[in-house]
Structure 1
Amino acid sequence: MEINGVEIKETYAEGFGIKVTRILVTAATAKLAKIAATEATGYATSVIGCPAEAGIDCFVPSECTPDGRPGYAIMICHASKKALDHELMERIGMCVLTAPTAAAFNLLESEDELKTAFKLKYFGDGFEKDCCIDGRKVHSIPIMSGDFIVESTFGFKAGVAGGNFFILAKDQITGVKAAQMAVAAIRNIPGTITPFPGGMVASGSKVGSNKYSFLPASTNEKMCVTLKDQVDSDIREDAEGVFEIVIDGLDEESVKKAMKAGIVAACSVDGVLEISAGNFDGKLGAYILNLHDLF
């Protein structure tokens, strides 16, 4: 199978289950909202070493927000409900509450809820108030710059993490360009994030280690361009730039749509040679996302 002359390998990405919440961060201006959203989703590329996986989903215009101000939808993911609740408490409390003019609202209707803000309101030291905005129960917490508004509960659900594909290009810069194009296309798919820096993974990993028993993950030597002559490489001889795109989503269908959009965009870049994907024979997760089935 080919797209624009780029070979799409007959393989699959292996995703895994994760709990996910979706939060709207608003502020007086779009710039201030993005600052708060960016801070709240920091240090969250992979649960291999980070306390969560998180990222900015999309911009939300003021006419679509509860408080009539511009905002950004963000997603925060973790395998554990307890850990997810802790991450929301930390990230909203330390990164959104502290951000100028910011507020936080729930964006995921679900029977499963986290009472994060019910606990966070006590930062108000007795001066906090319960009120209603756009039919939502919120807490108003006095802070130096005014009142911080946060919705009382946040919904969460079972989502899918680890959707992925590899971009193999003629050189590193071409690979970067294609990866950037892919990430830009994925931003148009609601309910998905690409949690790595700039949405691009430079250091693809494998489960466990061949040499060190204490490592939960290690470099994927079969996809390292500098090791092509030393290992049983999965990289074609003419490829010198390899990047991975990892996608987390609210559900399997959203992840599939994002993978398809990203692959099509990457294949539009001259010098992209092949699209592949990462899987680990069922060691990572239960979701099998076949590349050819996306089309």
Structure 2
Amino acid sequence: MSAISRNGVTIDDTFAEAFGMSALGLIITADSAKWANICATVMTGFGTSVIGAGAECGIDRQLSPDETPDGRPGVRVLMFGFSPDALKPQLLNRVGQCVLTSPGSACFNGLDSPTTMPLAAGPRFFGDGWQTAKKLGKQRFWRVPVMDGEFIIEDKCGVTTEAVGGGNLLVLGRDRAGLLEVTEAAVAAIAKVDDVITPFPGGIVRSGSKVGSKYKGAIASTNDAFCPTLKGAVTSELDADTIAVLEIVIDGVTSASVADAMRAGLKTIIETGAAKGVTRVSAGNYGGNLGQHHYHLKDLLP
């Protein structure tokens, strides 16, 4: 495989293969930024991979009071799934269990789209008949009585089927601590790009996977070609000095947002990586046969 060297880091001439997904956005507000973030963090928890978590979820960005519907501090969260129908139970459970229950919270649509899905269809019934509806312009909101006052929730939220899941960067290195530090910095750079999330813990996944398994019923298994301890047992993709690989997985509301995020992460890795023991950047794909979206690393170089 040919490669390009930038600032002491080798960039493989390969591509990340990503998939079409559905996505929705929510704006969560509270009396303080602290509580908006607590609510959003809990609501997006266990939102790493649709393989086992049901939805891929994360915080997109912080919102100032002048950016939210009720003039309070807020957070925009994104949820990704294979289809709008797959997102419905995730939305119901996460909003009902994590947003309705959080002190001072309110929940609003966070994605402009001509296609909508119910947002308040479950939580409003918690009002046990005491809930009331109010229409402001074209939007309907529900007021649900709770013990600290009222829970305000918008009736519907926008959903898109043009989202992309699975953009990725594989970061290889010869020093574990330095590799993690650089990958963290890349995630921080990606966080500045709107309309994307990195759904794994801290934005980083060490358990990159391949399709299929030797075990019946398992749909994914460890990416053995990138496992340092298996260099002598499998056809390895790793250099002799590579001792660890970390992956950043990126989901975006649009294909362009995923490309922008990968570009930002790659730029940070190139600028800071060599001094911290990062040697290469690669990407995960399935030969181009599964995902509709291909992001070639050479096209994303700064």
> Could you tell me the TM-score, scaled by structure 1's length?
0.96
Q: Distance in 1 between matches of 2:109 and 2:67?
A: 13
Please report the RMSD computed on the Cα atoms of aligned residues, expressed in angstroms. Answer: 1.3
Deviation at 1:2, TM superposition (A): 2.8
The question of whether the paired residues in 2 share the 8 Å contact of 1:67 and 1:133 is answered with no
Deviation at 1:134, TM superposition (A): 8.5
Deviation at 1:282, TM superposition (A): 3.2
The question of whether the paired residues in 2 share the 8 Å contact of 1:9 and 1:291 is answered with yes
The question of whether the paired residues in 2 share the 8 Å contact of 1:173 and 1:241 is answered with no
1:281 to 274, 287, 297: 287
Deviations 1:6-51 (A, max 9, x none): 1111000000011000111111111100000001101110011111
Deviation at 1:204, TM superposition (A): 0.3
Deviations 1:72-104 (A, max 9, x none): 110011112122111111111110000111111
Deviation at 1:5, TM superposition (A): 1.9
1:148 to 135, 147, 151: 151
Matching residue of 2:134: 131
Counting only pairs closer than 5 Å after superposition, residues 159-198 of structure 1 correspond to structure 2 as 159-198=163-202
Q: Is structure 2 residue 239 aligned with structure 1 residue 257? A: no
2:110 to 107, 110, 126: 107
Gaps of 5+ in 1: none
**Secondary structure of 2:120's partner?**
helix
Moved more, 279-288 or 231-240: 279-288
Q: Distance in 2 between matches of 1:60 and 1:20?
A: 19
Paired letter, 1:162: G
- Report how many aligned residue pairs link the two structures: 294
**Secondary structure of 2:247's partner?**
strand
The question of whether the paired residues in 2 share the 8 Å contact of 1:225 and 1:241 is answered with yes
Q: Distance in 1 between matches of 2:117 and 2:134?
A: 18
Q: Distance in 2 between matches of 1:58 and 1:134?
A: 26
Gaps of 5+ in 2: none
Deviation at 1:283, TM superposition (A): 4.4
Q: Distance in 2 between matches of 1:64 and 1:288?
A: 34
Q: Which runs of 4+ in 1 moved over 4 A?
A: 132-135
Q: Is structure 2 residue 46 aligned with structure 1 residue 43? A: yes
The question of whether the paired residues in 2 share the 8 Å contact of 1:66 and 1:133 is answered with no
Q: Is structure 2 residue 11 aligned with structure 1 residue 13? A: no
Q: Distance in 2 between matches of 1:242 and 1:81?
A: 33
Deviations 1:250-274 (A, max 9, x none): 0110000000101111221321111
Matching residue of 2:239: 236
The question of whether the paired residues in 1 share the 8 Å contact of 2:23 and 2:84 is answered with no
Q: Percent identity?
A: 44
Matching residue of 2:76: 73
Matching residue of 1:29: 32
